Structure formats: C-alpha cells, structure tokens
Amino acid sequence: ESAVRYLASDLGPQGIRVNAISPGPMRTLAGAAIAGARKVYRATEMNAPLRANASLEAVGGAALYLASDLSVSTTGEIIFVDGGYHVTGMAQPENL
C-alpha cells in the first residue's frame, strides 16, 4: 500500500495515476489447488458484509473504472474488491 502512495505522489505531477486493486479470495482453478481454499472461501462469505467472495467480474469492473476517465482524479488508492471483508477484521474462530 505504501508503494502505491509513494508512486502516486512522485508520478502525479506528470499526470500519472497510480492505484491498486486488492481482491479477496476468488474461486479460480489455481485457488482450488490450495489446501484449505474451500474453508477460506466459506469463512469469507460468512464474515464479509456483502456475504460474498470476490469475482472475476467484480475485479474486472474495478480495473475498468481505474482505467477509464471516470477515475481521472483518483490516485494513491487501494480498491478493495472483497465484499467488504477488509473492514471486518479477523473472523471469529466459530465462523472458520
């Protein structure tokens, strides 16, 4: 996160915007090979305010926004695409 902020500060005067997307757990073929992935997906779904994991479509939408003129004044930001999970803190053990 600090690298995004530093780069945004350094490159902003040249008109270069720097942002990042931080997705939550996503159900992918690669993710399916990780031991315990299903448990992580369930825990995220149970504890995220929107009760959902990130999707490829949601991450793509965030990328489209950042690449478009709609975000012309947005720089130095981390866009969380995780159903709000990042605001909840650590899950309670009974919800894992």
Per-residue pLDDT, 93 = 61
pTM: 0.84
Confidence of residue 89 (pLDDT cuts 50, 70, 90): confident
Provide the mean pLDDT of the chain. 92
Per-residue pLDDT, 10 = 99
pLDDT per residue as tens digits for the range 44-85: 899 999 999 999 999 999 999 999 999 999 999 999 999 999
Q: What structural domains and CATH numbers belong to the chain?
A: 2-86 (3.40.50.720)
Residue corresponding to tokens 């969380």: 80
